[in-house]
Structure 1
Amino acid sequence: MHNVLEFELHGAKVSIPAANLISHWLDKAGLPRNALQQNMLTPPRIGATWIGQGGIYAGILRGENGAPDYHLIHATVEHEMVDMNWVQASEKAAAHIDGHSDWSLPNRREARLLYINSPDGFDTSGWYWTSAQGAAYPDFAWVQYFVHGNQLDGHKSVEYRARAVRRLLVIE
């Protein structure tokens, strides 16, 4: 068997998938399950599926205010949310997708990168929610349009589309 650890324990032969053992070790160490994956994986070309990461690779964003740079991955079209207000979209974006639980709505910079690098992966007939709330008006949040790249603030009660993203630190 491939990637299985086998050993004898009190006369019994035990086989454990290496991934299960590593996941258990990471849990006991208090580390996120993707801590080792982040160090071992190389991203695919922009717009391609990143195998094991749950979605489509959108590129690298520079960290803000001293934060590290990170890779951005967006969920596939099968996981697109349609006709949801901002609260519903925010809650649903946090769902588990392909074994990962660190999904959320993109911020404004991330939404802009999605427009620049992956416009053909999004529906051009509508607006997409971001996580960025309107500073001047608490009932508004920013939305991204994939035809012209415009961003506007939309009332949180309006139903738009949404696509979750996840982030992986760039390890040098």
Structure 2
Amino acid sequence: MNTTTNTHIQLAAIAIELAPSERYSGTVLDETGLVLHHLSLLPARPDVRKNWDDAKAWATSVGGDLPSPQEQALLFANCRDALPKAWCWSNKTHEQDASYAWDCYFNYGDQGYGLKSYEGSAVAVRRLIP
């Protein structure tokens, strides 16, 4: 990293409209620090534990998507009080074994992975492109 020059970041003003009970979760950045999108946590929760495929279908049915592992960390940092005290599926398949997917235990913020056939909880998010 070059420490002899300053970095200038220009952030455009943005207005984000949230649906009732939807919660703004923060800004998701790429690996260079540029804004990818903004994230909102949807209020819906599944009524039963679901395997990964069913959790993905549920998230789509409520107008969202499962969060990525990066987004799960952001949710834990900014919306902890609104998250279930359970492990929840992410939208990312494990890189080395496609029968696993990444998850987050929102009680403590721990991230790991489990067999997609296991039944866990889920939250849904909406990505807001600037």
TM-score (norm 1): 0.61
- CA deviation profile, 1:63-85 (whole Å, cap 9, x unmatched): 35797431100111xx1123000
Percent identical pairs in the alignment equals 31
Equivalent-residue separation in structure 1 for 2:128 and 2:102 (angstroms): 23
Is the 1:63–1:70 contact (alpha carbons within 8 Å) kept by the matching residues of 2?
Answer: no
Q: Give the corresponding residue for 1:73.
A: 40
Q: More helix per residue: 1 or 2?
A: 1
- Point out the structure with max Rg over C-alpha: 1
Stretches of 4+ aligned residues off by more than 4 angstroms: 64-68
In structure 2, runs of 5+ residues without a counterpart are 1-11
- CA deviation profile, 1:41-86 (whole Å, cap 9, x unmatched): 624xxxxxx533872110111135797431100111xx11230000
Q: CA RMSD in A?
A: 2.4
Q: Give the corresponding residue for 1:134.
A: 94
Q: More strand per residue: 1 or 2?
A: 1
Say if 2:57 is the partner of 1:91: yes
Q: Give the corresponding residue for 2:9.
A: none
In structure 1, runs of 5+ residues without a counterpart are 1-38, 44-49
Say if 2:60 is the partner of 1:104: no
Counterpart among 1, 15, 22 of residue 42 in structure 1: 15
Greater relative contact order (Cα 8 A, min sep 6): structure 1 or 2? 2
TM-score (norm 2): 0.79
